[in-house]
Amino acid sequence: MLAAGKIRGKISAARGCLQHHLATCHRPNEKSIEAMTEHDSTTVQRSYTFRFYPTSVQRQQLAMEFGHARWVWNTCLTWRGRQYRVHDKRVTGVDFSRQLTFLKGLGPYAWLKEASATCLIQKLRDQDTAFRHFFAGRAKYPRFKKRTHTQSIRYQLDQRQVAGMYRAGEFLKLPKLGALKLKWSRKPQGIPKMVTVTQDCVGRYCVSFMCEETLQPLPRKPNGIGVDLGVCDVVVTSEGWKSGNPRHLRTHTRQLRKTQRRLSRKRKSSVRWHRQRIRVAKAHARVSNTRQDWLHKLTTALIRQAGFIAMETLNVRGMMANRRLSKALGDVGMHELKRQMEYKAKWYGREFRQVDRWAPTSKTCSVCGAVQKAMPLKVREWTCPDCQTAHDRDINAARNILILATGGRPGSHARGGVYQPAAAYGC
């Protein structure tokens, strides 16, 4: 009996110690898991664009909506200019909204009731935004909308009834249009609040909206790359990889010349002129779409390749002033490439830095740091006279960009002034 009592005492003591250990040890609770998720994930506003194919009834309704929105924009723009010139008074879209409500009650303007009220109000808000950009110096004075240009209207989805109007990957219903036949190329995660319907110059219909989503970063990578932009090769990395240049505009030049030549021979504003104008717009849209698709694939590959990406800041506007290189530079799309790199690096947990555009990256030896006096553009390969290292011009520039972004000093031109940092890349 005594032995059994001792055994029971030892078991109860061990059980108490175990319970005490489990109560005091660190275990992840809901708050700590949420904190880790918030630290790793990123919440962004992600936009989607899907093409849809309207029925004949929907085409008529959209043509009416586009016409009404265009009339409201042009009339409000004329009214604003007259109020400022004659009465020296600044008015906004809210002021014209009151006038619009009054006009709907009049007989000659009763046709304004046929369009969705939210589309007209959103068009006035767009004009207010355009004037804010104009007064801030970021844009020119707003211009009148034309019938042959891209048409767009914006619908506001009632969040109380959004479950019956939108379901990702299945259907989308809009006021006075009903269900749209969308080409769901992907499935959005969030719920949109606004939906923009657009008809481009080619005649294609698209819907665009924005959703709030939580993106998980890509797997961490300890390496870094420097990126040098050019015309012969759009992207050259410090690891020696060259992307090449598809030259989208040059590829479709023959077709563009043919369609534009035929357009010039048509009588302006005739039926055949409008048909040929659509053919020209389709040719230009094909060039733009192929370039955009290639840039997205290129930037995504670079983001997945390294955890740290360095690039040189370029004065694209100044380079476009060179009439000999402007066509080739415009075909590359350097500004769009940099824009995509910036937002994709934020989305997927990469670090993106830019170095000084005046740094002598092309004529500096990436091995010993010696700087050459001159390096013409026609020189694509050169040998350092100090260390006898053979360099490819673009690869050497990409390596110097990486060195400057990770600890080099662009102001020091002495040998050894640009050095490779011993610390790991910040990723």
| Neighbour count for residue 395 (Cβ, 10 Å) | 21
CA distance 241 to 239: 6
331 is known as an active-site residue: no
The one catalytic residue among 114, 200, 239, 394: 394
Residue 271 has which token pair? 């039926």
CA distance 61 to 49: 21
Residue 186 has which token pair? 């992907």
Residue with tokens 């110097």: 400
The one catalytic residue among 228, 293, 351, 386: 228
Q: What is the DSSP letter of 267?
A: P
| Neighbour count for residue 311 (Cβ, 10 Å) | 25
CA distance 164 to 277: 40
> DSSP labels for 164-228?
GTEETTTEEEETTTEE--B--SS--SS--SEEEEEE-TT--EEEEEEEEEEEPPPPP---EEEEE
381 is known as an active-site residue: no
Residue 379 has which token pair? 């020189």
- The answer to whether 347 and 47 are in contact (CB under 8 A) is no
Can you point out the beta strands (E) in 245-355? 308-312, 351-355
Residue 137 has which token pair? 């110096």
CA distance 313 to 353: 9
Residues 317, 319, 322, 323, CA torsion sign: negative
Closest by CA position to 367, among listed 241, 238, 242, 243: 238
CA distance 131 to 142: 7
Closest by CA position to 241, among listed 193, 298, 187: 298
Residue 7 has which token pair? 């055994």
> Phi and psi dihedrals of 22, rounded to 5?
-65, -30
Residue 188 has which token pair? 């959005």
394 is known as an active-site residue: yes
The one catalytic residue among 88, 212, 312, 381: 312
Residues with active-site annotation? 228, 312, 394
